[in-house]
Structure 1
């Protein structure tokens, strides 16, 4: 009495209505800026310190299904590396972010991968991306950069080929991308691709419980979200 009963189809769709994506990587690679660009379409040149972690939410529509995307922002300082696994262990997708102008942040990718594989509860889709492509005057939107030197910082960049090699060696999602939180380059496509891969992986694991409508190849804000432009943030101390 008084309890509503939904059919099995409704219950099945609820399995994929929430998608958790965590961003991990060395401090100052731009994880918070990437999330801010994706959710609010803004950028600040000031360094934003992440204490503990933040959870941001955004509603998008994928294959005709409205999803709540939870973006988990983790701190990258050494003393926070023990905190990060408590945040990303339940994520269905993980973006490992490095700074193309700081080779040390790329070298740290191996350590982040080890932690993820040891401490996640499931088998998340893992994608590697390089932020701050805007520092490379030779950088392009769709193609790998033509040179591996001459950043505006005067430093040698992490080579595109080196990153692609890491992706294949580690069995990550085979689509390495350079992005720019400052200009917005490739930010939306990266999240679109990762969300789709997560949903397809769920479909493969769950069989006929949920099947995407490939005729509705759409990823974006729903009409009501475009109108309200609301986002939600929770800080974890």
Structure 2
């Protein structure tokens, strides 16, 4: 068992806010529940407003806590936009491979994401419901081509079969971690983004990427 298994729930090195976006019914909530709780619900209802879940993963020996936000894809909840995106350093842009309209709307979601977040945000395009191969309306090639054109990562997933769900989130979190680590090195030890020793961080705050220091930090 790794040493991190004994760490408390609020004991982490980095906290990253990741948002799930895309049309209603593409499977965002089940992707979230599969990654954070390894659960899937066929009776999943449309998300009302916003909810989030967390999970910690180990990247390069550091404990990275992902705070993943899920929102309703319906138009009537659009007023939450700016608060929802604030502080996000990663996004999974999801469409349903059996419904071409959800793929057509990816462009609008991506434009909105880029309007409300840092230009360096890590974005992965997700073609969900890959278990429904007999109903495919959006080919893997089309998804890949769009992702390449927009400089996005790309993966097809199935929340039902748990296919690539772990890989998709892990890839996004790893890329965010490498970006943040690189910035920290470039900024030097005097970076103001790093809290003082002993400073308490509230998970509910709009904290995107912060480093926590223990009492033993040199």
**TM-score between both structures, scaled by the size of structure 2:** 0.76
What is the deviation of 1:86?
A: 1.8
Tell me, in whole angstroms, the C-alpha distance in 2 between the residues paired with 1:208 and 1:171.
24
Which residue of structure 2 aligns with residue 38 of structure 1? 35
**Runs ≥4 residues deviating over 3 A:** none
Equivalent positions of 1:144-155 (< 5 A) are 150-151=134-135
RMSD of equivalent CA atoms:
2.2
Tell me, in whole angstroms, the C-alpha distance in 2 between the residues paired with 1:86 and 1:52.
12
Tell me, in whole angstroms, the C-alpha distance in 1 between the residues paired with 2:119 and 2:143.
25
Which residue of structure 1 aligns with residue 86 of structure 2? 89
Which residue of structure 1 aligns with residue 139 of structure 2? 159
What is the deviation of 1:113?
A: 0.7
CA displacement, residues 4-43 of structure 1 (integer Å, 9 cap, x when unaligned): xxxxxxxxxx996101111000000000000001111111
Is 1:50 the counterpart of 2:47 in the alignment? yes
Equivalent positions of 1:70-149 (< 5 A) are 70-121=67-118, 123-136=120-133
Is 1:203 the counterpart of 2:200 in the alignment? no
Match of 1:42, SS? coil
Which residue of structure 2 aligns with residue 194 of structure 1? 172
What is the deviation of 1:122?
A: 5.5
Which residue of structure 2 aligns with residue 8 of structure 1? none
Match of 1:101, SS? coil
Gaps of at least 5 residues in structure 1 are 1-13, 137-149, 211-231
Tell me, in whole angstroms, the C-alpha distance in 1 between the residues paired with 2:62 and 2:177.
11
CA displacement, residues 53-85 of structure 1 (integer Å, 9 cap, x when unaligned): 101111222111112110110110011223133
What is the deviation of 1:208?
A: 5.3
CA contact (8 A) 2:18 2:88 kept: yes
What is the deviation of 1:115?
A: 0.5
Which residue of structure 2 aligns with residue 180 of structure 1? 158
